[in-house]
Amino acid sequence: MVKPDTDTQSHIEAHGIIGDMRTAALVNDKGSVDFFCWPEFDSPTLFCALLDSPEAGIFQLAPDMPDARREQIYLPDTNVLLTRWLDNEAVVEVTDLLPVSDCADELPVLMRRVRVVSGRATFTLRCAVRHDYARADTHARVDGADVWFEASGQPALRLAASQPLSVEQQAACSTFALAQGQTAEFVLGAAQDPRVRVGSSDLALQHTVQFWRQWIAQSTYRGRWREMINRSALALKLLTSRKEGAIIAAATFGLPETRGGERNWDYRYTWIRDASFTVYAFVRLGFVEEANNFMRWLRGRVGDGCDQPLKLNIMYGIDGRRELPERELTHLAGHGGATPVRVGNGAADQVQLDIYGELLDAVYLTNKYGEAISHEGWQHVTQLVDEVCEIWDQKDVGIWEMRGEKHHFLHSRLMCWVALDRAIRLASKRSLPAPFERWNAARQAIHADIWDNFWDAERGHFVQYKGGTALDGSMLLMPLVRFVGATDPRWLATLQAIERTLVRDGMVYRYLNEEEGMDGLEGTEGAFAACSFWYVECLARAGQVEKAHLEFEQLLRYANPLGLYAEEFDCHARHLGNTPQALTHLALISAASFLDRKLDHQKTQWQP
């Protein structure tokens, strides 16, 4: 294990993301690609310096300008990233992209372009490909003007460059100077890919910029926070699989939820919960095709063309595989020394009853705004809802994937109610056949159970699980899914209790780990960004519009300079956890959309 190099291991928020909807790469504000899985989102890494040292794989490309101001921006309305250096002697920019090709089956290609805007600068390049999470013995060799990277049992890659390359310590290296107006380009991809050549980046850049701008132009959002909403939408689109239709939870693995701690998970998979919430965000912005694509992908997971009983897993690989064994990469030192670094996810085998509600809500919305549900699709829904009627009162591990004792969690009950409610609504609106009497009886039973067994009269608020006393950030979804009125006295009392207990400067914690080992892990975690945006929406729905507006503006300041969010915040509002996190960005979209309407209504009320 190599000790992390603090000079090269950047903070989580010091990264932009580029992607082609098959995989993604993180580029830090020093000009290094320090995280890149290839060729799929959930493939092993080629560059993994973010979780160790540069020897775990890195693509460094930067000018010799140690005193320059550095900044990152996206080309407007795209996922093409620009990293810039500014000082008295020169202004330099590096453009990074994973080109969007016409064919979803083409392997990803990483393109990097250098341009000197003014002055003159000397550049250093070091491309150290390290196959298989830096476990394989990768060899670099010069072949003509290119450098090949090869490892036994691994796909060969090739780096093409417009500048001379050499090999040092199994890495491609170059030092070169450019004057004002001069450019250089570097292309990394599969060794036999004809697109890996210099001179191809102009057309690829033009095509990719056009793709992203045409896509985001379809957004129906016209509110106050258009720039942030568009950036969130573009981030969510990056996390979709163009080939499969799946939606991943985040682009990374192993980034810690506690600095130096053990809460380091792999989020490069499709959670039914997170993906279903993302469908809601896409539909809200008018991106119906993404919702349709996910539903088509889902149909392949729950039994199309199969006579076997339906089984809904909580998560899947992008290609639909169910087995995601969790393994520790003990040779990696972790981000900031946080170990173990894990790939795969043991939560795939957990029972989480809330996924039925999130899924059925997405089905309902897609049917309303996108493609109407098919006959076979409705049969699948009927089987799933019948299953909810049988299992809703069982214990599970809850939305936060507790690795401790199972409980009767409020959120799981709530989402089972949502599953039944949305199925009944869909059947009624479409005149679809359904056992209405049975479903309605189960819906009413869950409703009564929540009010009778999860309300703590002594403390005056709802509780996290039956028999417990704690609060939980997931309670903030109660009015958002329309289970309880946003101004209901009991809900307002619960909201106030959450404010006293879980909220710190607008940042909301999922829960307090006051019971030792309650979640099966040591230590604590940061504030959960999605809960923080749910809190804003709850305030707005409760009529506390000015407070919601202020809290929302504060949360916007906690984004990184590119408008991206990870999973959590530490006490300084620095980013923690995997990034960019879909759940955070979709919660931002929901909060902004509702707050817009409330502010517009308030504005009309003020007019004479």
Looking at the fold, whether 486 and 398 belong to one and the same domain comes out as: yes
Residue 6 lies in a domain: no
Residue 204 exposed, middle or buried by CB count within 10 Å (0-12, 13-18, 19+): buried
Concatenated DSSP letters of 234-266: HHHHHTB-TTT--B-SBS-B---SSTTSS---B
Cβ-Cβ contacts under 8 Å for 182 (sequence gap 6 or more): 115, 116
Residues 386, 360: Cα–Cα separation, whole Å: 12
What pLDDT score does 602 carry? Answer: 77
Residue type, 486: A
Residue 115 lies in a domain: yes
Residue 203 lies in a domain: no
What pLDDT score does 601 carry? Answer: 82
242 and 103 Cβ atoms separated by less than 8 Å? no
Residue type, 426: L
- The alpha carbon of residue 343 and the mean position of all alpha carbons in its chain are separated, in whole angstroms, by 16
Residues 587, 608: Cα–Cα separation, whole Å: 34
**SS3 call for 154:** coil
Looking at the fold, whether 289 and 389 belong to one and the same domain comes out as: yes
- Helix axes of 226-238 and 201-216: crossing angle, nearest 10 degrees: 120
Nearest alpha carbon to residue 239 among 79, 352, 393: 79
Residue 204 lies in a domain: no
Distances (CA, A) of 606 to 180, 325, 603: 55, 58, 5
What pLDDT score does 1 carry? Answer: 41
Q: What is the pTM of this model?
A: 0.95
For residue range 75-133, list pLDDT tens digits in order. 999 999 999 999 999 999 999 999 999 888 899 999 999 999 999 999 999 999 999 99
What pLDDT score does 440 carry? Answer: 98
- The alpha carbon of residue 364 and the mean position of all alpha carbons in its chain are separated, in whole angstroms, by 23
Query: Of 193, 208, 241, which closes a domain?
Result: 193
Looking at the fold, whether 289 and 346 belong to one and the same domain comes out as: yes
Residue 412 lies in a domain: yes
For residue range 176-207, list pLDDT tens digits in order. 999 999 999 999 999 999 999 999 899 999 99
What pLDDT score does 305 carry? Answer: 47
Residue 219 lies in a domain: no
Looking at the fold, whether 504 and 544 belong to one and the same domain comes out as: yes
Domain CATH for 595:
1.50.10.10
Looking at the fold, whether 165 and 290 belong to one and the same domain comes out as: no
Residue 568: which domain range? Answer: 224-606
* Low pLDDT (below 70) residues in the chain: 1-8, 303-309, 513-520, 605-608
> Which is it for strands 166-168 and 171-179: parallel, antiparallel or unpaired?
antiparallel
Looking at the fold, whether 271 and 415 belong to one and the same domain comes out as: yes
Looking at the fold, whether 325 and 472 belong to one and the same domain comes out as: yes
Looking at the fold, whether 436 and 480 belong to one and the same domain comes out as: yes
Residues 260, 21: Cα–Cα separation, whole Å: 31
Looking at the fold, whether 302 and 177 belong to one and the same domain comes out as: no
What pLDDT score does 301 carry? Answer: 85
Looking at the fold, whether 236 and 140 belong to one and the same domain comes out as: no
Domain CATH for 23:
2.70.98.50
C-alpha dihedral, 438 to 442 to 448 to 451, nearest 10°: -150
What pLDDT score does 5 carry? Answer: 46
What pLDDT score does 400 carry? Answer: 92
Number of structural domains in the chain: 2
